[in-house]
């Protein structure tokens, strides 16, 4: 999958806790093929409270704090 799926997510709903779940390799990971690539800015623009991202089965923090 080489499409940026994050761009298809709806905007956050005001007054609710917004969670996004996305199977993606984000900006990539050494030793792994790209999958549904996206950037942190692609996620930030949606203004979600939390993003659960996954592709590589190893924990990694992509942002030190909430946007």
CA distance 17 to 53: 17
Query: 60-64 — which CB contacts under 8 Å span 24+ positions?
Result: 60/29, 62/26
The pTM assigned to this predicted structure is 0.71
Looking at residue 41, its pLDDT comes to 92
User: What pLDDT tens digit does each residue of the chain (67 aa) get?
Assistant: 788 989 999 999 999 999 999 988 776 666 667 778 888 899 999 999 999 887 555 555 656 555 5
């Amino acid at each position: 999958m080489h499409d940026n799926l994050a761009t298809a997510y709806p905007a956050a709903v005001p007054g609710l806790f917004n969670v996004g779940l996305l199977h993606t390799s984000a900006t990539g990971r050494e030793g792994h093929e790209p999958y549904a690539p996206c950037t942190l800015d692609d996620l930030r623009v949606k203004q979600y409270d939390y993003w659960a991202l996954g592709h590589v089965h190893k924990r990694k923090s992509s942002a030190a704090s909430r946007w």
